[in-house]
Amino acid sequence: VLKGSMMLVTTRSPKVADIVRTIDPFPLEGLNEDVFWEFFKLCVFGSDTYNNYLELEPIGEKILPKLKGSPLAAKTLGRLLGMSLDLAHWDRILKSQLWELRQEETDILPALRLSYMYLPFYLKRCFSFCAVYPKDYNFRKKDLAEIWAAEGLVEHQHTGDQYFEELAHLSFFQKYPRSQEKYVIHDLMHDMAQVVSKDECFIVKDTKDLLKIPQNVRHLKVLKGGDVKCSDLLNLSKYRKLRTLLCGVSLNSKTGNAVMEKWCTELLCMRVMVCSSISKWGLPGSLSNMKHLRYLKILDSSLCKSLPSEFCC
């Protein structure tokens, strides 16, 4: 680092700011109330047509302070309100008990939780599945729609594309700044997704997480780069209700071959399986045991020279 260089740290946690600071932190406030009100109305109505719905304005004014000046909260809840410009719908959201959840002063989780709770059921299922991916993961619409279809969350990929667009419009997905094809989930939205999916989706970052996997987990991701060894993956076969397994740990070894054999023999509810690599012995014939498997992806398939004859089963 060159002399005179500086590092700027942003955080939502005052404790983190206190630990890393070398000067007094600069707290960022929410948007100015007048500006925020105009922005909120734009998120709800999409234009200046809000003058046609003046009876909704008193309810909107009561909801506004609960959003704490956060543009993300205004976009998600505003677009939710805009889905039904009905007095009763707005009043139900205003009087929801979710606003009473215990929260820190800067926490906007209740607003985001409300946005999720009032989603149509078909969008809830698709979005909650995304909790199996880590924060800042880059989503591609086509890839995610394929997996949703394999999971049975949508009838076919075209429907998945439509659902993805709906969620993006409601700000559950946001465009990745450096790519037109990639999307991300805001970290607060990701926190919310993990809250509503805590018993079904789980991410393994290191060996300590292996002891925390919910017994009835449905969707599991093992990240690469931690201290999880290939031999640790043998025990995943005890989670018999697994439908999704996304494995970032290399299976390019004799142990990896045993792991794959065990998975194919015992994880019989599997719909989606993604592996970073496989061993030189390739895919086992026991893969045919996975009668429900609809999506199989080997990221590094250089060692896979052929498919077992049982594959067509």
Let me know: does 274 contact 299? Beta carbons within 8 Å.
yes
- Assign 101 to helix, strand or coil: coil
Q: What's the CA gap between 80 and 117, in Å, rounded?
A: 10
What does each of the 313 residues of the chain score in pLDDT, given as a tens digit?
Answer: 688 888 888 887 788 888 888 888 888 887 888 899 999 989 888 776 666 778 898 999 999 998 888 899 999 999 889 888 889 999 999 998 888 776 654 466 788 888 999 899 999 999 999 999 999 999 999 999 999 999 999 999 999 999 999 999 999 999 988 777 899 999 989 998 998 998 999 999 999 999 999 999 999 999 998 899 999 999 999 999 999 999 999 988 899 899 999 999 999 999 999 998 888 777 888 888 899 999 999 988 776 767 777 777 6
What tokens were used for 183?
Answer: 């999307």
Distances from the Cα of 194 to the Cα of 13, 131, 176, 187, 200, angstroms: 19, 5, 21, 10, 9
What are the φ/ψ torsions at residue 220 (nearest 5 degrees)?
-135, 135
- Answer for the pair 128, 112: CB distance below 8 angstroms, yes or no: no
Q: How far is CA 102 from the centre of its chain?
A: 23
